[in-house]
Amino acid sequence: MSLGRFLLRRFIMLVVSLLVASFVIFGAVYLAPGNPVSALTGGRSVSAEALQVLTERYHLNDPFIVQYGRWLGNALQGDLGISITNRADVSTLIATRIPTTAGLVLYASLLVLAVGVGMGVLGGLRRGAVDMTTVIVSAVSAAIPAFVAAIVLILVFAVDLGWFPAYGNGSGFLDSIWHLTLPAIALAISALAIVARVTRAAIREEVGKEHVQTAVSRGIPRRQIIRKHVMRNAAIPITTVSGVTIASLIAVAAVVEIAFSLNGLGSYLVQSAQSKDLAVVQGISLLLVTAFVVVNTLVDLLYATLDPRIALGSRAL
């Protein structure tokens, strides 16, 4: 398979994934108990005229597939419908909340990459106490769910020490970063542990390989061996696991946003699910799934650039 065909294949998969996902998101509402009107009104009883208006506005008498096509077409143009509870444009409501979630996930991703990979490299290259510490720290923090990390961080750093705010978004750039620090740590903690463990294992494996031993015996400087022989090969599994765990942060962000009362996409999604504001649920789900799938595709492409065998040959198992 040539690189061009690989890219094409990956692109087609991306489009098909998004189509199927959007179909599931839209179709789920039709599986809901009751008729679509009661789903649209959140179960509230409405007058006959309102029913007529709703049926016409949402084209509820059209066949399902036509409705889906219209919804998807509008969504692609940025029109996600009207929120039942806020009586406002879903796209506008969502847009104001994107920066918080994007900032949170980005901040957490930086932590995962810097601390997770850093810890893994340290543990992989050094032996003894340093290695033991990284192994124990990563084993424990891998098992800490984001919401548990959140309440412990709030307890220690917000309530007891008073270093960081316990909730809210903050205003202005620096204040926002200040407010996002504890949430980002809570979101990153189990992901960075996973990245640290895979990084350590990958480096250990490369260090033990014959070509590295040969380089050592030929007297090539240690720095150069680590950079050119160890890191370069270890980068392949490290990239994959970092990318996949970072993509998974997109969904978990909802939990952290609720824990810290952040006004982001995830917390809005959860509130809308509770109030059955389905247009908002569909809109945010579509956005988050798209982000998730796009990040995963980018990881695959990066993986293929790091390891040309992937694009050329069959997929590695």
CB of 7 to other proteins, least distance (A): 16
Rg (Cα) of the chain, in Å, rounded? Answer: 24
Among 145, 168, 221, 308, binds other proteins (CB under 8 A): 145
245 and 194 in contact (C-beta within 8 Å)?
yes
Provide DSSP, 121-147: HHHHH--THHHHHHHHHHHHHTT--HH
Among 198, 225, 258, 295, binds other proteins (CB under 8 A): 258
**68 makes contact with other proteins (CB under 8 A):** no
Among 215, 254, 262, 310, binds other proteins (CB under 8 A): 254
**188 makes contact with other proteins (CB under 8 A):** no
Burial 219-235 (b: 16+ CB within 10 A, else e): eeeeeebbeebbbebbb
CA-based nearest residue to 194, from 140, 122, 255, 257: 140
Residues 6+ apart with CB under 8 A from 136: none
CB of 315 to other proteins, least distance (A): 9
**Which one, 152 or 177, has the nearer CB to other proteins?**
152
37 and 81 in contact (C-beta within 8 Å)?
no
Among 94, 108, 188, 250, binds other proteins (CB under 8 A): 250
User: Which region among 110-118, 120-128, 145-153, 221-229 touches other proteins (by CB under 8 A)?
Assistant: 145-153
Place of tokens 């040539």: 2
**281 makes contact with other proteins (CB under 8 A):** yes
Can you give the binding site for other proteins, defined by CB under 8 A? 13, 16-18, 20-21, 24-25, 28-29, 31-33, 39, 139-140, 142-148, 151-152, 154-155, 159, 166, 190, 248, 250-252, 254-255, 258-259, 269-270, 272-274, 276, 278, 281, 285, 288-289, 292-293, 296, 317
